[in-house]
Amino acid sequence: APIPQVDMFIAGTSCVDFSSLNTRKSKAFSGLVAEDKLWQSLKREHGDQLSLGHLSRDSWRRAIDSMMESSGSSNTSTTTFASAMNYIFERQPKIVIFENVESAPWQSVVDYVFPLCGYAAAWMRLDTKKYYLPQTRSRKYLVAFSHNAFTLEGAQALSSSIKKSVENLERM
């Protein structure tokens, strides 16, 4: 069956690979290092203007293939994340939300992976008990807005304001 286009993509990958209870936990999404140096240099060169136009399809394909290859069948977080990121890259939903444990490596994803896919992104650490849910459950959430849907500047403004907006919802 064909995979449909969506406006909002919401996902949470398995937390085993990044869990503090895992003695062999990952510090990064496996395989992303295949293009990491190139992508970091693009970030240094283009700064806040980094976008989908700076990324070659070949570079993206090498990164995704490397993530899938390095993860094998044992690294479910990376496999799911690579598949999700490939969907995001190819289909360009307007808004993306990811959830994972606190130790998930969102900073590099926000700094250059999402911008190279055409998104401005922000991550935040939230604890459910501060949002009227009856349990302590700390997680990191990544929210990204498409440059195509909101313009580069609009997406950056939305990603900057999302943290403040969510903080305003926190119970006192």
Question: One of 15, 82, 104, 152 is an active-site residue; which one?
Answer: 15
AA letter at 112 = Y
Query: What is d(CA 136, CA 9) in angstroms, rounded to the nearest whole number?
Result: 25
- Picking from 84, 150, 97, the residue whose alpha carbon sits closest to that of residue 123 is 97
Query: What is d(CA 102, CA 141) in angstroms, rounded to the nearest whole number?
Result: 9
Whether 15 sits among the annotated catalytic residues: the reply is yes
Query: What is d(CA 41, CA 170) in angstroms, rounded to the nearest whole number?
Result: 37
What is the DSSP code (8-state) at residue 3? P
Q: With contact defined as beta carbons under 8 Å apart, do 77 and 29 qualify?
A: yes
Query: What is d(CA 18, CA 106) in angstroms, rounded to the nearest whole number?
Result: 11
Query: 153: part of which helix (H) or strand (E)?
Result: helix 152-169
For the chain, how long is the longest CA-to-CA vector?
Answer: 49
- Active-site positions read 15
